[in-house]
Amino acid sequence: MSRVVRAGALSVRWEPRAAAVGVGLLAVGLAAAVFVVGTGDFPISAPEVVRALVGQGDQATTFIVTELRLPRAAVGLLAGLALGISGAIFQSMSRNPLGSPDLIGFTTGASTGALLQILVFGGGTLAIAAGSVAGAVGTAAAVYALSYRGGGVSGHRLVLIGVGAAAMLEAANSYLITRAELREAYEAAFWLTGSLNNRGWEHAAPLGWALAVLVPLALAYGRRLTMGELGDDAAQALGVPVQRSRAVLVAVGVGLTAVSATAVGPVPFVALVAPQLARRLTRRTGPHLMSAGLMGAALLSVGDLISLKLPVAVPVGVVTGALGGLYLVWLLAATGRKGTT
Amino acid sequence: MNRLVARDLTLAYEQRVVAEGLGVEVPDGSFTVIVGPNGCGKSTLLRALARLLKPREGAVFLDGEPILGQPAKQVARRVGLLPQQPVTPDGITVADLVARGRYPYQRLLRQWSREDERAVAAAMEAVGVTELADRVVDELSGGQRQRVWLALVLAQETPIMLLDEPTTFLDIAHQIEVLDLCSRLHEEGRTLVAVLHDLNHACRYATHLIAMRGGEIVAQGRPSDIVTAELVERVFGLPCRIIDCPETGTPLVVPADRRKALTAGML
Ligand SMILES: Nc1ncnc2c1ncn2[C@@H]1O[C@H](COP(=O)(O)OP(=O)(O)O)[C@@H](O)[C@H]1O
Ligand SMILES: [Mg+2]
């Protein structure tokens, strides 16, 4: 149930349950981040991490925390936020819980762009980043153009064509790797898994700036996204500029996918799972971008912590992949039982 | 001049031209019903009247101004539309769905005014779904779901309401229930435009009837003035007799029994 706060002609609606879930997820994400920062060859206890973060720690600890390890935790939180929001946008627009950017080719396209830079052009970090952004944007443009029929894009077409595009790009990625030198192939395979290792402020800062623009834009269009779920005609008759908001939302969603892929590689399943889990926890109908984003941040942060605590070193993408696979099995089983989605 | 007027419309989807030189005037305060065979352009016309489809030529005027030049939300406070195939979001409750009808009145810091609250409660009351407020719309019967969607359009509180086949998929009792409701809304002062498939219902409820065929208006006026056997034959290609309805006195279309002729022909 939602509550309303009114003052004169102004009124703001909020949902205590969604707010509580949001605060809880934020707390989980931040707590996991603190433990991530504390983990490493030189372990630091959680209170010490916090003390260093608020400027009360000794010099050596503060250096390790803020310069060496904090960027990694920040990238995890921010990329998770981006993945959760972009997943919620595309699932809502395609009216399909499988319509997330990692299954409909956008993330795979980002990988193709990055691989081309790593393996063919031999580009550096910046070129790889540019390649992955170009790959995501190019794939999104192609999938959209191919799904466009009679003045609009239908959800089913988008998912089917996107899944096809993902399969083709996947094949292209494998081919690129088979053609590579051993050392390059290793670097590429590592990139493809999705990892938070060796992330510095040079990764975290651009990601933060990009999100400072993209996230408010996404939230500003959240209400229009919700209205769009009534179908184009009903939404338009209620005064929603359907085509224009869809164009903005696609651009923002692709942007979020691209910057997160650039920062952490194609970490699987977070964009797919986060909106669904958030929706179940908040018990809301319709997309709720903020709780999906916070769920994404918590998932990626916790996933990273798990990957650090496992006896064998695995990148975070392996952890989210395993957890996401379990979720998919559960989703299909639940769907099969009910007969509908 | 009437509030909602269309002049010289050419309506088309990409290559397919649906209507050319189409002019329509919706009489203020009327219950206008549009009839015509499948695919003749009724929904297309309603979409143009509601600002959803940009005419290739001609223009729709609302309150004397071209409708396309007016801000979307301002139009949405005057003209409401129930689409032929509305999409119900998964898992949404009745109250939440009806509340979305208030979108044209809402802004960033005016998310849920007392006006919104009152309009939604009144709309649910009017169509009799108040008791269903917390139910999930997907789990309602077809008739209940249609009434919920009507409540959404009612909550929009527009003086002009366009309804595309509001009775399709309903059983006869629910059809009459929805049409009686429309009739009451009309008597309360709204202008209604509805697309109906049942000619007899159209004759019974319409104060103004528009018969379309192939993107053109074949006849319009009061049902008792214009509905003749020739008109029905011309619009639908159906030979029939017209009698007076014993209940309302409006025209009643009785299709000719062609089976005898067919059997005779076969022998
Ligand atoms: N989105 C669309 N794209 C292309 N053609 C369409 C579209 N919608 C309707 N049409 C065509 O336009 C014509 C008129 O359709 P419509 O207005 O829906 O008819 P009615 O509502 O009278 O049954 C039909 O021939 C139909 O096939
Ligand atoms: Mg129609």
Which domains occur in chain B, in start order? 1-78+158-236 (3.40.50.300), 90-153 (no CATH)
In this predicted model, which residue has the larger pLDDT, B259 or A208? A208
For residue B264, with 0-12 CB atoms within 10 Å meaning exposed, 13-18 middle and 19 or more buried, which class applies? exposed
pLDDT at A341 over 50: no
Q: Tell me, what's the pLDDT at A164?
A: 94
Residue whose C-alpha is closest to residue A297's, from A103, A136, A132, A75: A75
Report yes or no: A18 and A282 within 8 Å, Cβ to Cβ: yes
Q: Quick one: what percent of chain A has pLDDT higher than 70? A: 96
User: Ligand 1 pocket, A150 CB below 6 A?
Assistant: yes
Report yes or no: A269 and A327 within 8 Å, Cβ to Cβ: yes
Interface predicted TM-score (ipTM)? 0.94
The ligand 1 atom at the shortest distance from the C-alpha of residue B195 is: 21
B83 touches chain A (CB under 8 A): yes
CA–CA gap between residue B205 and residue A102 (Å, rounded): 53
pLDDT at A1 over 80: no
Residues of chain A with a CB closer than 8 angstroms to some CB in chain B: 2, 4, 6, 9-13, 95, 150-151, 223, 226-227, 229-231, 233-234, 236-241, 285-286, 341
Q: Tell me, what's the pLDDT at A340?
A: 46
What is the nearest CA distance from A254 to chain B, expressed in angstroms?
Answer: 24
| B82 chain-A contacts, CB cut-off 8 A | 234
**For A250-286, how does the pLDDT look when each residue is reduced to its tens digit (9 = 90+)?**
889 999 999 999 999 999 899 999 999 999 899 888 7
Contact call for A4 and B92, based on CB within 8 A: no
Among the partner residues A12, A233, A239, nearest to B104 by beta-carbon distance: A239
* Distance from residue B131's CA to the centre of ligand 2 (Å): 31
The answer for residues whose C-beta is within 8 angstroms of residue A338's C-beta and 6 or more apart is none
Write b or e for each residue in A19-28: b if 16 or more Cβ atoms lie within 10 A of its Cβ, otherwise e. Answer: eebbeebeeb
pLDDT tens digit at each of 267 positions of chain B: 899 999 999 999 988 999 999 999 999 999 999 999 999 999 999 999 999 999 999 999 999 999 999 999 999 999 999 999 899 998 899 999 999 999 999 998 999 999 999 999 999 999 999 999 999 999 999 889 999 999 999 999 999 999 999 998 788 998 998 999 999 999 999 999 999 999 999 999 999 999 999 999 999 999 999 999 999 999 999 999 999 999 999 999 999 998 877 666 665
Report yes or no: B114 and B67 within 8 Å, Cβ to Cβ: no
Alpha helices in chain A (DSSP H): 16-38, 46-53, 59-63, 70-94, 106-115, 125-147, 155-178, 182-193, 201-220, 222-228, 232-237, 242-264, 270-282, 289-309, 316-338
In this predicted model, which residue has the larger pLDDT, B14 or A241? A241
Confidence band (pLDDT; 50, 70, 90) for A224?
very high
Best residue among B11, B13, B24, B53 to mutate for probing ligand 1, ranked by most atoms within 8 Å of CB: B13
Among the partner residues B83, B89, B110, nearest to A9 by beta-carbon distance: B110
Contact call for A150 and B111, based on CB within 8 A: no
Q: Tell me, what's the pLDDT at B267?
A: 59
Q: Tell me, what's the pLDDT at A286?
A: 79
CA–CA gap between residue B69 and residue A124 (Å, rounded): 51
**Position of tokens 């997943």?**
A87
pLDDT at A192 over 70: yes
pLDDT at A185 over 90: no
User: Ligand 1 pocket, B15 CB below 6 A?
Assistant: no
3-class DSSP string for A177-214: HHCCCHHHHHHHHHHHHCCCCCCCHHHHHHHHHHHHHH
State phi, psi for A26 to the nearest 5 degrees. -60, -45
pLDDT at A337 over 80: no
What is the nearest CA distance from B72 to chain A, expressed in angstroms?
Answer: 5
User: Ligand 1 pocket, B12 CB below 6 A?
Assistant: no
User: Ligand 1 pocket, B47 CB below 6 A?
Assistant: no
Residue range A121-140: mean pLDDT, rounded: 89
Contact call for A151 and B14, based on CB within 8 A: yes
Tokens representing B54 are: 């940009």
Q: What is the mean pLDDT of chain A?
A: 90
In this predicted model, which residue has the larger pLDDT, A201 or A332? A201
The ligand 1 atom at the shortest distance from the C-alpha of residue B84 is: 21
Residue range A308-329: mean pLDDT, rounded: 88
The answer for residues whose C-beta is within 8 angstroms of residue A60's C-beta and 6 or more apart is none
What is the nearest CA distance from B100 to chain A, expressed in angstroms?
Answer: 7
Residue in B with minimal Cα distance to A97: B90
Interface with B, mutate which of A238, A279, A280, A288 (most B CBs under 10 A): A238
pLDDT at A159 over 90: no
For residue B16, with 0-12 CB atoms within 10 Å meaning exposed, 13-18 middle and 19 or more buried, which class applies? exposed
For residue B22, with 0-12 CB atoms within 10 Å meaning exposed, 13-18 middle and 19 or more buried, which class applies? buried
Domain positions in chain A: 3-336
Helices B114-127 + B142-155 axis angle, to 10: 140
pLDDT at A193 over 50: yes
In the three-class reduction of DSSP (H, G, I as helix; E, B as strand; rest coil), residue A75 is classed as: helix
| Whether domain A3-336 has CATH 1.10.3470.10 | yes
Q: Tell me, what's the pLDDT at A19?
A: 94
- The amino acid at B127: V
Q: Tell me, what's the pLDDT at A338?
A: 56
Cα dist. B148→A170, B111, B114, B178, B201 in Å? Answer: 45, 21, 21, 11, 21
Q: Tell me, what's the pLDDT at A129?
A: 87
Q: Tell me, what's the pLDDT at A217?
A: 97
